[in-house]
Amino acid sequence: MKRSILAFIIIIAVVSCKQGPDRWTNQSPEIDVVKALIKDYEAGDWEAWKGHYADTAKLYHNTTKPGSVGETLEGLRSYLENVSEYSFSDKDIYYEMIIDDKNQKWVNFWGTWEGHIQPLDRNLTIPVHLTLQFVDSKIVEEHGFYNMAEYAVAMGEMANQAAAEEEPEE
């Protein structure tokens, strides 16, 4: 009788410890899409970059107001006009996917963007965080957070230099 009760308890313990679906991973098809998205960004392959998004995707980059894929693309391209080289550092780059309580899939990316502003001969280093929601292997929502202060200071310096060059000498 004691063995039956012990066997019953063990069976109950094993069944109750059965894991549910994984809620977090660092390997998934969605993570592979984000890796491809980063690679396309670094290569300046904007058509491939756009292909990772759903047509109705909403992107929030340092804002609470959504932009379209096209609007965000134009913003990113304008930031890169004065940048001669850029990429994400291979050091300290992280990807993870979570499935939230609503069964939505989100991929988080952390990386360090590095770029060179040729007119100033200056390197910039900007930490970046992206979180991207996926539906049917396409990005439907994206939130991007990065501090553009260092970039803004460099652009201000370039504007001041240009203005100083245009001033007539007395």
Structure tokens at 17: 């410890």
Structural domains in the chain (count) = 1
Residue 74 has what pLDDT? 97
Contacts of 110 (CB under 8 A, 6+ apart): 92, 93, 94, 127, 128, 129
The greatest distance separating any two alpha carbons of the chain, rounded to the nearest whole angstrom, comes to 108
Q: What is the pLDDT of residue 164?
A: 83
pLDDT attached to residue 102: 95
pTM (2 decimals)?
A: 0.83
- 77 domain-assigned: yes
Query: What is the span of the domain harbouring residue 135?
Result: 20-166
Phi (first) and psi of residue 61, to 5 degrees = -110, 110
- Residue 168: count other Cβ atoms within 10 Å of its Cβ: 4
**d(C-alpha 93, C-alpha 39), whole Å:** 13
In a domain, 2, yes or no: no
Dihedral (Cα; 62, 63, 66, 70), 10-degree rounding: -40
Residue 6 sits at φ, ψ, to 5 deg, of -65, -45
pLDDT at 1: 64
Q: Which helix (H) or strand (E) holds 139?
A: strand 138-146
pLDDT for res 6: 53
Kindly report the CATH number assigned to the domain that includes residue 63: 3.10.450.50
Residues of the chain with pLDDT under 50: none
Residue 143 in any domain: the answer is yes
| Residue 8 belongs to a domain | no
Question: How many Cβ atoms sit within 10 Å of the Cβ of residue 72?
Answer: 21
Return the pLDDT at 22: 76
Query: What is the structure's pLDDT at 119?
Result: 83
Residue 133 lies in a domain: yes
Q: Which two tokens stand for residue 57?
A: 């995707």
In a domain, 109, yes or no: yes
Q: What is the pLDDT of residue 9?
A: 61
67 within domain boundaries = yes
Q: Is residue 11 part of a domain?
A: no
Amino acid (one-letter) located at 57? A
On the 0-12 / 13-18 / 19+ scale of CB atoms within 10 A, 28 is middle
